[in-house]
């Protein structure tokens, strides 16, 4: 299996909702990432997990909460989001931090 999967593909939520984004890879990669991407812009790094430990947290608001239950799974818990949080959320993985990253198809999030 050489891909990163993400669910759901689309998500619409209100500002008071709680939802979660899920990411999975079965390539044995030990680094996993969350990015936020606005249209036609490069991805913005949010979180990095290395060996299932949070390695980098790029000053992301606390309404975004990452979780890495095991080496194959990565979640992003969402709560009390703002309309400006609407974006494409990308998950990626790499064998190690030094290696190239493989991206999932993303979750298109709309916050009403």
Partner 1 sequence: AQSVAQPEDQVNVAEGNPLTVKCTYSVSGNPYLFWYVQYPNRGLQFLLKYITGDNLVKGSYGFEAEFNKSQTSFHLKKPSALVSDSALYFCAVSLMDSNYQLIWGAGTKLIIKP
List the end-to-end C-alpha distance of the chain, in Å, as a whole number.
36
Is 98 an interacting residue with respect to partner 1 (CB under 8 A)?
yes
Is 21 an interacting residue with respect to partner 1 (CB under 8 A)?
no
Is 48 an interacting residue with respect to partner 1 (CB under 8 A)?
yes
Q: Which stretch binds partner 1 (CB under 8 A): 12-20, 60-68, 70-78, 103-111?
A: 103-111
Nearer to partner 1, 43 or 66 (CB): 43
Residue 86 has which token pair? 């609407």
102 sits in the region (left: phi over 0; alpha: psi -120 to 50; else beta) called beta
Residue 53 has which token pair? 């430990």
Q: Which residue has the tokens 């430990």?
A: 53
Rounded-to-integer distance, Cα 75 and Cα 66, Å: 6
Q: Site for partner 1 (CB under 8 A): which residue of 74, 104, 109, 111?
A: 104
Q: Which stretch binds partner 1 (CB under 8 A): 13-21, 62-70, 73-81, 94-102?
A: 94-102
Rounded-to-integer distance, Cα 68 and Cα 59, Å: 18
Q: Which stretch binds partner 1 (CB under 8 A): 12-20, 48-56, 68-76, 78-86?
A: 48-56
Site string for partner 1, 49-88 (x = CB under 8 A): ------xx--------------------------------
Q: Is omega for the bond preceding 10 within 30 degrees of 0, making it cis?
A: no
């Amino acid at each position: 299996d050489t891909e990163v999967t993400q669910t759901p593909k689309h998500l619409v939520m209100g500002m008071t909702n709680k939802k979660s984004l899920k990411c999975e890879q079965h390539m044995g990669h030990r680094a996993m990432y969350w990015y936020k991407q606005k249209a036609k812009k490069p991805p913005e790094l949010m979180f990095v997990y290395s060996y299932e430990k949070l390695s980098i947290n790029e000053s992301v608001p606390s309404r975004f909460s990452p979780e890495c239950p095991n080496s194959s799974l990565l979640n992003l818990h969402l709560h009390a989001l703002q309309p400006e949080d609407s974006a494409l959320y990308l998950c990626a993985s790499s064998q190690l931090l030094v290696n190239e990253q493989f991206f999932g198809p993303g979750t298109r999030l709309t916050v009403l």
